[in-house]
């Protein structure tokens, strides 16, 4: 096969953004052409049952609130039952209560993504309460700063267990129930960090590290999600990936630099993530699956 012109190869090496665009890794390039589905194809979420993993605060809590406001019975699943650190306010009980105060239906459920028994118990608790599972949003995450050399070995394993293996195990727990109920939606929350930097040489903004381990795991999650979309298509179960197009000022994002003695509690609501999640779940699973999506791009095309 003939090699491409030398000039194009040089441009790609020196401009990772251009390379990302050519490979379909920018939010704009990866946005699916199916975003403008006709309004009449949208499904109602009234009576649907959703589990949001990692919903005690931040993006997960906002997604849970939006799903409940759209009519879904929502399981607020996470580890946090009581506030242990003033920098991380919010519990499964406070989020569920906020949903109830707004007229929605919510169930606080304890969930530890590192514990297979806890994962299975979460799914069973929801089945016992509401008899079905239609939606799973995998949002729980842990961010380990540093490089693979500076990060502790146990933190590397922790990141894999929560950010990747935990998502897989949650899917395993709910898929049989979704299949029995005739289908459903699985949304795995990812990050712009999953976009690869492309070939070097690199500038300081790439080389300084900090999110490369996290981003690499999220990239693997995106590949896995699309593979599952293929496997589950005949079961009418959609698997999509949704990422924030820009960072939100959430408790987790500013945790490391937040003063525990005088914490900054001026957080930013991730409403676009909640709205985009609802929109995706309103689509027919058989026709809207395998997409890598960004919240604001979804809303712009909806």
| Mean pLDDT value of segment 145-168 | 90
pLDDT of residue 286: 94
Owning domain of residue 284: 40-301
| Residue 7 covered by a domain | no
pLDDT of residue 87: 66
pLDDT of residue 82: 76
| Mean pLDDT value of segment 238-251 | 80
| Residue 69 covered by a domain | yes
pLDDT at 19 over 50: no
Distance (Å, rounded) from C-alpha 172 to C-alpha 116? 10
pLDDT band at 291 (very low <50, low <70, confident <90, very high): very high
- CATH number of the domain at 294, please: 3.40.50.720
| Mean pLDDT value of segment 101-110 | 98
pLDDT at 138 over 50: yes
pLDDT band at 251 (very low <50, low <70, confident <90, very high): low
Catalytic annotation, pick one of 164, 167, 214, 294: 214
Give the least confident one: 68-82, 190-204, 252-266, 276-290.
Answer: 252-266
Percentage of the chain surpassing pLDDT 90? 58
| Residue 94 covered by a domain | yes
167 catalytically annotated: no
| Residue 22 covered by a domain | no
| Residue 9 covered by a domain | no
Distance (Å, rounded) from C-alpha 63 to C-alpha 192? 18
pTM of the model: 0.81
| Residue 219 covered by a domain | yes
pLDDT of residue 195: 87
pLDDT of residue 301: 83
pLDDT digits (tens, 9 = 90+) for 219-228: 999 999 999 9
| Residue 11 covered by a domain | no
| Residue 266 covered by a domain | yes
- Domain total in the chain: 1
| Mean pLDDT value of segment 9-25 | 34
Q: What is the mean pLDDT of the chain?
A: 82
pLDDT digits (tens, 9 = 90+) for 28-87: 443 343 333 434 467 899 999 999 999 998 899 999 999 999 999 999 999 977 767 666
pLDDT of residue 33: 34
pLDDT at 254 over 50: no
pLDDT band at 208 (very low <50, low <70, confident <90, very high): low
pLDDT at 234 over 80: yes
State the number of CA atoms in the 13 A half-sphere of 68 facing the CB.
Answer: 26
pLDDT of residue 15: 36
């Amino acid at each position: 096969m003939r090699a491409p012109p030398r000039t194009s190869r040089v441009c790609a090496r020196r401009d990772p953004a251009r390379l990302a665009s050519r490979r379909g890794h920018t939010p704009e390039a990866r946005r699916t052409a199916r975003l403008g589905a006709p309004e009449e194809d949208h499904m109602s979420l009234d009576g649907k049952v959703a589990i949001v993993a990692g919903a005690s605060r931040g993006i997960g809590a906002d997604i849970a609130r939006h799903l409940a406001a759209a009519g879904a019975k929502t399981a607020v699943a996470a580890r946090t039952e009581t506030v242990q650190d003033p920098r991380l306010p919010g519990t499964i009980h406070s989020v569920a209560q906020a949903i109830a105060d707004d007229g929605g239906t919510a169930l606080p459920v304890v969930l530890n993504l590192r514990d297979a028994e806890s994962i299975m118990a979460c799914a069973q608790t929801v089945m016992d309460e509401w008899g079905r599972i239609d939606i799973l949003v995998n949002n729980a995450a842990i961010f380990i700063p540093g490089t693979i050399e500076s990060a502790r070995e146990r933190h590397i394993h922790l990141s894999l267990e929560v950010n990747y293996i935990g998502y897989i195990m949650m899917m395993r727990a709910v898929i049989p129930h979704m299949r029995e109920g005739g289908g459903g939606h699985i949304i795995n929350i990812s990050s712009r960090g999953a976009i690869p930097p492309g070939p070097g040489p690199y500038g300081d903004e790439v080389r300084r590290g900090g999110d490369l381990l996290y981003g690499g795991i999220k990239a693997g999650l995106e590949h896995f999600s699309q593979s599952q979309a293929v496997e589950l298509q005949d079961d009418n179960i959609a698997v999509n990936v949704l990422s924030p197009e820009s960072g939100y000022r959430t408790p987790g994002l500013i945790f490391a630099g937040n003063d525990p003695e005088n914490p900054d509690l001026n957080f930013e609501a991730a409403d676009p993530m909640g709205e985009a999640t609802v929109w995706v779940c309103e689509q027919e699973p058989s026709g809207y699956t395998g997409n890598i999506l960004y919240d604001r791009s979804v809303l712009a095309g909806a």
